[in-house]
Amino acid sequence: MSTEMPKDLQKWEVTRQKGKTRFVLVAGVLSWGVPMFAVMTFVVNRRPERPLTPLMILISAVVWLLGGACFGLAMWAITERRYRKHLAANPPPR
């Protein structure tokens, strides 16, 4: 078994140094929550018989941005677990 760190975990080392908050905001809220808000609010759930109101848009924004934060936290936890598991199985040489 190779002890070399996979490329995705090498990239993770760099990403995790930037911090959890930044990762959650960029990967979760901005990269997932905002696009999901736009698509689900203005494309998928658009119904002519039920026009969008500012309140509906606000509620949708809150839901999808919180969902994006949860997505970012979940991705952080999953990737961090893989990273730590790899380090535990392959300690760096001294």
pLDDT of 6-61, one tens digit each?
899 999 999 999 999 999 999 999 999 999 999 999 998 888 888 889 999 999 99
As a whole number of angstroms, the distance between CA 25 and CA 45 comes to 25
Core vs surface per residue 64-76: b (16+ CB within 10 A) or e: bbebbbebbeebb
For residue 91, the model assigns a pLDDT of 81
As a whole number of angstroms, the distance between CA 52 and CA 44 comes to 12
- Residue 47 main-chain phi, psi, to 5 deg: -130, 130
Q: Judge whether residue 78 has pLDDT over 80.
A: yes
For residue 62, the model assigns a pLDDT of 98
Query: Are the C-beta atoms of residues 72 and 32 closer than 8 Å to each other?
Result: yes
As a whole number of angstroms, the distance between CA 64 and CA 70 comes to 10
Confidence of residue 1 (pLDDT cuts 50, 70, 90): very low
For residue 2, the model assigns a pLDDT of 53
At 49-74, the pLDDT tens digits run 888 899 999 999 999 999 999 999 99
For residue 3, the model assigns a pLDDT of 64
Q: What is the pTM assigned to this prediction? A: 0.85
